[in-house]
Homo-oligomer: A and B are copies of this chain.
Amino acid sequence: MPLSPEQQAEIDALRAEPAPTLRATVPAMEEHLYRAAPVLDHGFVRVVDYMGDDSAICQAARVSYGRGTKSVSNDEGLIRYLMRHWHSTPFEMCEIKLHVKLPVFVARQWIRHRTANVNEYSARYSILDREFYIPEPDALASQSTSNNQGRGEALAGEEAERVLRYLRDDAMRAYDHYEEMISDDGQQGLARELARMNLPANIYTQWYWKTDLHNLLHFLRLRADSHAQYEIRVYAEAIGEMVRDWVPFAYRAFEDYRMGGAVLSAAGLDCVKRMLKGEEVTQETSGMSKGEWREFRSIL
């Protein structure tokens, strides 16, 4: 369970104290505040704060006072136009702050997105909890035979059992030794900043992560993609649900123009044009390599 009773009590108390504000406010996001959406076996994502809404995107695009004139185009039309034409700055005018609990190996992928603010729980200063990610059986995938950084079928039978046993036992033993090493009971006790090095990458960490909507959508495009590792994709999907509630126009435009669409290369575009004229195009006549052609066919 991601939250302890004390944490839940503290959160309940906070949910009971609304304050009046003149800022842009999204009722559906208020529902998310102080609630943790569970992800994986011990992780979660929760919205700590948000700034702006769909109107704020338009207001910034128009550099307007108050809510801005809406005579030229309605808000959704403007947002779709901005997304379609790669105008990124208006989307940067919305900001979100999340509290995330996640395995260290997921955190290591996540942090590659540099345009964000991060405060991570310090294992130099504090003692980490005994919580490790152990995959569900259907997430216990074999190495893909076609994609060097992908997954194949789920493992089965004895092999699956042995893997789970290794993951669990090694984590428990490592944590036992971690505790033993830092203990100052009858000994000096190893510095926390050193003892932590014994802990495996499936241990959970936590951080506050704050970013703007443009960079968040970029994160979602890469991490909610089917090629992303499953363990980060589930975080991206949980965040996507929150973004849908937060800025529904922007999220719908994002789905239409980024997630659901496709990028054609110059060669791909040329092939589509020839195919629309009735030509039978093959890989050999396409001007594409085999890999490109395979990807092109899967798009269509």
Contacts and interface: CB of A to CB of B under 8 A. Distances in A.
Nearest to A33: B22
Contacts of A276: 272, 275-276, 300
A299 interface: yes
B22 A15 contact: yes
A20 B208 CA distance: 24
Interface in A46-102: 48-52, 56, 59-61, 63, 65-67, 77, 80-81, 84-86, 89-90, 92-93, 95, 97, 99
Contacts of A19: 20-23, 25
Contact of A181 (B21, B59, B166, B269): B166
A184 to B, nearest CB: 7
Interface in A205-261: 206-208, 210, 212, 222, 227, 229, 255-257, 259-261
Contacts of A51: 49-51, 95, 97
- Majority SS at the chain A contact face: mixed
A99 B65 contact: yes
A256 B264 contact: no
A140 interface: yes
Contacts of A264: 261-264
| Most interface-central of A67, A120, A170, A227 (chain B CB within 10 A) | A170
Contacts of A150: 191
A163 interface: yes
B191 A67 contact: no
10 contacts: A19-B25, A20-B20, A21-B23, A93-B210, A149-B193, A167-B197, A167-B198, A174-B200, A201-B201, A276-B300
Given A20-B21, A143-B182, 13 more contacts: A14-B67, A19-B25, A20-B20, A51-B95, A89-B112, A89-B118, A111-B111, A150-B191, A166-B177, A170-B177, A199-B201, A255-B266, A259-B266
Which 4 pairs from chain A and chain B are nearest by CB? Answer: A260-B266, A10-B66, A92-B117, A197-B202
